[in-house]
Amino acid sequence: MKKQITLYLFILIGLASYAQKPHVLNLTNFDNKKIHFGFSLGMNVQDYRLESWSPIGANPEFVEKDFTNPEGGQVTMVDTVRTDIATTVPGLTVAVVINLRLGEYFDLRFLPGLSFGERRLTFTKNGEYLPVYDIYAGTTDLEVVSVKSTYLDFPLMVKYKSSRLNNQRPYIIGGFAYRLDISKSGEEDLVQLKKGGLYLEAGVGLDSYLRFFRFSTELKVSLGLNNLIGDTPIEQRQYYSQSIKSISSHIFTLSFHFE
């Protein structure tokens, strides 16, 4: 993930350097519009920040149970079960851009849209691999748990722009977003999460004024502010979810805006 962010920053720096050369100015009155619209396409990487109970018996809701298939799956009060991200999977983001001009250097932006992504979780018990038993997965011994998400995104951000450099204009953004996960099924998930969450958002970008439209490249990080751990599943083995003390969502997005 660090390599990807570094690559994106080098791209932005390269575009900004290119902007120093003299060019014919495009869309000279574009930034004077009170309101304008567009659309956005992007790639995202979704991550979790996880905190575990140590040991799991520190969770007052945890109760030891005997299972008919105990191989690697028995968990006692003194065991420490940890959840980690096994691998990151690229996702897709699409959105509508609604931009309100606040002044020469400030805009208010609302970008409602959809984000599709996936996280893959793995579990360990006392530092060793813990098999995953999911009654709905069609198998009783999984290496990872796939958590697929489809978010309705409602970000509201303030954009601060520098002075225009020929046909480019660097900017920074900041604000908040509410996301609602609409992908949850009616089945008992191994780890149940709350559907809605509030995020703090910040990023950098570069506006490029082309002949007929403005094209923007933007790198943004979204940090979840609330604990997403939900109700403990009844039918599943409960020690997977009960080992998690808190879980918050982090999303990194590279977007391309067409306005």
Averaged pLDDT score across all residues of the chain: 86
Question: What pLDDT was estimated at residue 17?
Answer: 54
Instruction: Quote the pTM value.
Output: 0.84
SS (H, E, C) 200-232: EEEEEEEEEECCCCEEEEEEEEEEECCCCECCC
Helices (H), ranges, the chain: 2-18, 239-242
Average the pLDDT over each of 22-26, 125-129, 173-177 and give the range with the smallest value.
Answer: 22-26
DSSP bridge pairs for 42? 93, 255
Confidence of residue 71 (pLDDT cuts 50, 70, 90): low
Q: Which amino acid is at 93?
A: T
**Contact between 13 and 217 (Cβ < 8 Å):** no
Query: Can you tell me the distance from the alpha carbon of 145 to that of 213, in angstroms, rounded to the nearest whole number?
Result: 43
Confidence of residue 111 (pLDDT cuts 50, 70, 90): very high
Average the pLDDT over each of 27-41, 146-160, 172-186 and give the range with the smallest value.
Answer: 172-186
Question: What pLDDT was estimated at residue 112?
Answer: 97
Closest of 120, 94, 81 to residue 238, by C-alpha: 81
Give counts: helices (H), strands (E), the chain: 2, 12
CA angle, 135 as apex, 130 and 140 as ends, to 5°?
A: 45
Q: Coil, helix or strand for 225?
A: coil
**Contact between 188 and 180 (Cβ < 8 Å):** no
Residue predicted with more confidence, 2 or 242? 242
Question: What pLDDT was estimated at residue 24?
Answer: 83
Closest of 102, 150, 123, 92 to residue 238, by C-alpha: 123
Q: Is the omega angle on the peptide bond into residue 22 within 30 degrees of 0, that is, cis?
A: no
